[in-house]
């Protein structure tokens, strides 16, 4: 098992990225400028995260996803630990991530890691996606922005 940078000759693992973001159009807005890291097990990519440098001090996790079959086994936490390590290596002092206002499992996970809410992008999911997105039986409206001070 290892986490490595995807090289630019390899196919972008949209199948996994689409677990965390609803449309390819939305993913394409950040993916070509992001570093994509993949988690492999038995030579198969089973998880991914994408990091985008926003400025000298801030780096954002634009996408993080574990294949459905492998969720709930600690891989998400492993990926978050690795994001933090990479952000520190890049000498950033803030790591940010956005999630849905009804994405309770994800909010819980990030807050357990020490991320704190610092902003709300009102109506982000209504304005930026062609169809309504539901999680936990609730329509996503706002994007909750969280940050971890490194
Ligand atoms: N139900 C509720 N909470 C769960 C859960 C489940 N089935 N599986 C995991 N969790 C929570 C727990 O709080 C757990 O912490 P704990 O072990 O201290 O209780 C925490 O998530 C981390 O568990 P882990 O096994 O490391 O998570 P994971 O490998 O499933 O990865 C995600 C977490 C969110 C990356 C993964 O579930 C995923 O890819 N989801 C779909 C894409 C997505 O929503 N990405 C994030 C977009 S903001």
Atom nearest to 106 CA in ligand 1: 34
Task: For residue 149, name the pLDDT band (cuts at 50, 70, 90).
Answer: very high
pLDDT exceeds cutoff 80 at 21 = yes
Residue among 71, 103, 115, 147 whose CB has most ligand 1 atoms within 8 A, to mutate? 71
Q: How many residues does the chain have?
A: 150
Dihedral sign for Cα atoms in the order 85, 86, 88, 94: negative
> In sequence order, what are the beta bridge partners of 3?
39
Pocket flag, ligand 1, residue 136 (CB < 6 Å): no
Distance 105 CA to ligand 1 centre (A): 6
- pLDDT beyond 90 at 72: yes
For 26-70, the pLDDT digits (tens) are 999 999 999 999 999 999 999 999 999 999 999 999 999 999 999
pLDDT tens digits, one per residue of 7-19: 989 999 999 999 9
Is 20 touching ligand 1 by the criterion CB < 6 Å? Answer: yes
C-alpha to C-alpha distance for 98 and 121, rounded to whole angstroms: 9
Q: What's the rounded mean pLDDT across residues 85-99?
A: 97
What is the average pLDDT across 82-90?
Answer: 96
- Each residue's pLDDT tens digit, 120-141: 999 999 999 999 999 999 999 9
């Amino acid at each position: 098992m290892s986490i490595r940078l995807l090289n630019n000759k390899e196919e972008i693992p949209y199948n996994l990225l689409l677990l965390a973001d609803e449309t390819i159009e939305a993913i394409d807005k950040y993916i070509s400028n992001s570093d994509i890291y993949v988690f492999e097990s038995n030579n198969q990519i089973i998880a991914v995260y994408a990091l985008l440098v926003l400025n000298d001090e801030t780096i954002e996790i634009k996408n993080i996803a574990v294949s459905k079959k492998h969720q709930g086994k600690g891989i998400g936490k492993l990926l978050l630990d690795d994001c933090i390590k990479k952000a520190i290596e890049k000498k950033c002092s803030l790591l940010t991530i956005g999630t849905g206002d009804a994405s309770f499992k994800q909010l819980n996970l990030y807050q357990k890691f020490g991320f704190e809410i610092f902003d709300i992008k009102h109506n982000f999911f209504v304005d930026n996606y062609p169809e309504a997105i539901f999680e936990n039986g609730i329509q996503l409206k706002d994007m909750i922005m969280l940050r971890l001070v490194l």
